Amino acid sequence: MLGTYFYHQNIRKTIIAFGNLFNSIVVKHKDGDDNDYSEVRVPLAYGPRQKFLARLEQQAELNKPVAITLPRMSFEMSSLRYDASRKTTVTQSFKSLDTSGNNIKKVYLPVPYNIGFELNIMAKLNDDVLQIIEQILPFFQPAFNVTVDMVDIIGEKKDIPIVLDDISFRDDYEGDFSTRRILLYTLQFTAKTYLFGPISDTTDGLIRKVQVDMYTSTDVQTARREMRYTVTPDPIDADPDDDFGFNETWETFSDAKVYSPVQQTDL
């Protein structure tokens, strides 16, 4: 089982979906007449906050042309852990047509994992960071759902809740007046994503007949079928993407027999 190559990019797609939530944040500055005189789209990068703080500390003088553009944001994946609360049956699977519509694929139910993210917001002015925060927080109550195409070959999409867990901030201001001031807000998130296993071909055909036997007795040991409901597609050779109807039949019985799905006969 292990050693069979597959790569659905589930973790990578979740990281990209998380970053896309925050790549259009804008900060505006107003003059004394409350008119906008500048509008800045806040840069977003993947990486730890220590990287950006170190860059500021190495070029901390205010008279340098450009040390680093503020405000800016960075995010990184901070944890990956199994979510037992969303566990499903290990061997349960489903079948799906691939994107060509010709081949049937067998897919085991995905494994639930929680990915922790850390979003850092750095700014020099308090009003800048407050503008950014207010463009983010109202959407998380405390979760915001994003739809991710988890498995391209079968077009399997999942709604991934992204939960806001915690908010913290600090004001790094040390030294004399020539030292840069850094306002740093840190937001902790959890993305409830899924990891899919290998996708395999299956020789099993489509389900073209459903049969249900009904009973009126509540005694499982002595109950015998009294009515049977059967449904088949019309036409019988219809494909899932065809325009088709159904044939339904009802049968009544009083022979006290039980249908055997193994032998496919009444016993």
89-128 pLDDT tens trace: 777 777 776 766 667 778 888 999 999 999 999 888 888 9
60-100 confidence digits (pLDDT tens): 544 444 445 778 899 999 999 999 999 887 777 777 767 66
**Closest to 185 measured CA to CA, from 115, 143, 135:** 135
Q: Are 107 and 88 in contact (CB under 8 A)?
A: no
Q: How far apart, in whole angstroms, are the C-alpha atoms of residue 107 and residue 48?
A: 36
Report, as an integer, the average pLDDT of 180-184.
Answer: 74
Report, as an integer, the average pLDDT of 33-44.
Answer: 85
Q: 19 versus 261: which is more confidently predicted?
A: 19
Which value, in Å, is the radius of gyration of the alpha carbons in the chain?
A: 29
Q: What is the pLDDT of residue 144?
A: 96
Same domain, 184 and 235: no
The amino acid sitting at 227 is M
Same domain, 73 and 176: yes
Q: What is the pLDDT of residue 183?
A: 86
- What is the model's pTM? 0.68
Give me the domain span that covers residue 239: 210-266
Q: What is the pLDDT of residue 63?
A: 42
**Residue 101 forms part of a structural domain:** no
**Residue 93 forms part of a structural domain:** no
Same domain, 126 and 162: yes
Phi-psi region of 193 (alpha: psi -120 to 50; beta: other; left: phi over 0): beta
Q: From residue 61, give the alpha-carbon distance in Å to each of 51, 53, 58, 85, 146.
A: 18, 14, 9, 51, 41
**Residue 96 forms part of a structural domain:** no
Total domains present in the chain: 2
Is residue 203 scored above 60 in pLDDT? Answer: no
Q: From residue 72, give the alpha-carbon distance in Å to each of 13, 64, 65, 170.
A: 23, 18, 17, 15
Q: Are 124 and 70 in contact (CB under 8 A)?
A: yes
Same domain, 181 and 214: no
